Structure 1
Amino acid sequence: MIEMVIEQRRRSLGGGLEVGRVLPFAKRRMVGPFVFFDHMGPLDMAPGVPASVDVRPHPHIGLSTVTYLFSGEVMHRDSVGSQTPIRPHEVNWMTAGSGITHSERFEKARAQGDRLHGIQAWVALPQAEEETNPSFSHHEGADLPQWSDAGVHGTLIAGTAYGLSAGARTLSPLFYAHLDLEPGAVAEIPTGHTERAVYIAAGAVELDGARYEAGKMLVLSGDASSLRAAEASKVMVLGGEPLGERYLYWNFVSSSKERLAQAAADWRAGRMKLPDLDHDEFIPLPDEPAPPAPSFS
């Protein structure tokens, strides 16, 4: 059964780069620990794309960012010393914990052109782990178990589902998978978690007797366990256990508004280390009071 349908809203990240923002939403802030969900592209980037499209160094606390690409390449650099390109069907898992900064650059696109298409999600950390040490890990190959069955071609991105476990270290129970569906294929939606959702990245699916197009997240309730591809489709299935209330301000996530205010003050005062290999610019704190009461749209 479908509890709610959330349609992506277009949001500018500056420099001409737009995303489809899905979470947080006014009536649904989180699905399990997933507190943020952006659909990037598809976007054709011509050779010589300006540096203004890059996402300059910026900070995070209290979350893990999960970047997964269908196509394209992004160069990641962070303040714990990582410099790693992410390519299709790979995962960059960055745990901010007590604080990390990073940038995302389109260096391949600048050199030769590219087609960017993917998802960036944020997973909130359990309260006891919100101040854990920051870390970064890159996953590909055997870390991302794959399977094919009756027109369903799956990749497990994180957590445990379909009898498989992915390589990224998660700090709370969750699942996150990418399904490529041939027309007419029927795909299982993992059960056994309190909160679950399906996001249609391309194509269209049928669930509970209705058709849903790309750009929609279907938040599930009850025991809905399968969907059917109305056409060739890319679908993300995700969910997990709720962690309790979380507040968001800019790029910060916390169970404490006071901690958000401290993070904002630290960034404004230059107390958060920039990436060693990418420290000549940064995104300033938004010109607004910090932190405001939680507000989602």
Structure 2
Amino acid sequence: MDILHRHHVSTYGSGPQTLVFGHGFGTDQQAWRYVAPAFAARHQVVLFDLVGSGRSDKSAYDFSRYQTLRGYANDLLELLRTLNLPKVVYVGHSVSGMIGMLAAIQEPALFERLVLLAASPCYVNDGDYFGGFEPADLEEILGFLDRDYRAWSDTMVPNIVGGDMRPDLVDDVLASFSEVDPAIARQFARATFLSDYRSELPKLRVPTLVIQSAQDSIAPSNVGHYLHEHLAGSHLDILNTTGHYPHLSAPVATISSLERYLKSA
């Protein structure tokens, strides 16, 4: 199988360092259109779609392989090996942050640094851990998605994106969600929102930046602090913005955070 075709890989820019951008649930590589180009003058930029999203090869979607995020992590490793790049800086939004973390734990030699943007290792409240959702509430949300993915998207997306998002960008995110096959969306949502990778955090040995919105209904700022506390040697940057898509709603702040981190090497 052609891995580059499978993920609809796009590359541009030039420089000694490569930035690979991974998108979140319901979106595709176009979600990086306000951030990734800012790095093209001094970096090689790689964008890709997760299988089942965007313009990826939908026929490659395997319901067994993608029951958990490890299937996507294995895809990422295959992609990086195929591109035959030196160590990359991987920037993962939301669920792709955890996908990148799992991949970096498995093959740290492929990664120079990780950037986790609005990522979460666990979405469920558990004792003194605040992930953002009570178990019963999350099951109700996923049940709604199971019954009517389109109605779920129309209801959830305006709440997820936050008040900082321009109306036209909200429409863009809704359009992206609508392109996902409902059966794939149902499985991907459960693989994402019912996952718990907190026990994996101490295994990560790749330097990491955690970027979090000050207010995010999906990954609250507490989650950012939790990641920072449990990822050895990590850095934390809380952006003064709301919503789960700071790379769309606050691209200048997101770019600035990334640039500061890259210059800190």
**TM-score by structure 2 length?**
0.27
Task: Give the structure with the larger helix fraction.
Answer: 2
Of the two, which has the highest radius of gyration?
1
**TM-score by structure 1 length?**
0.25
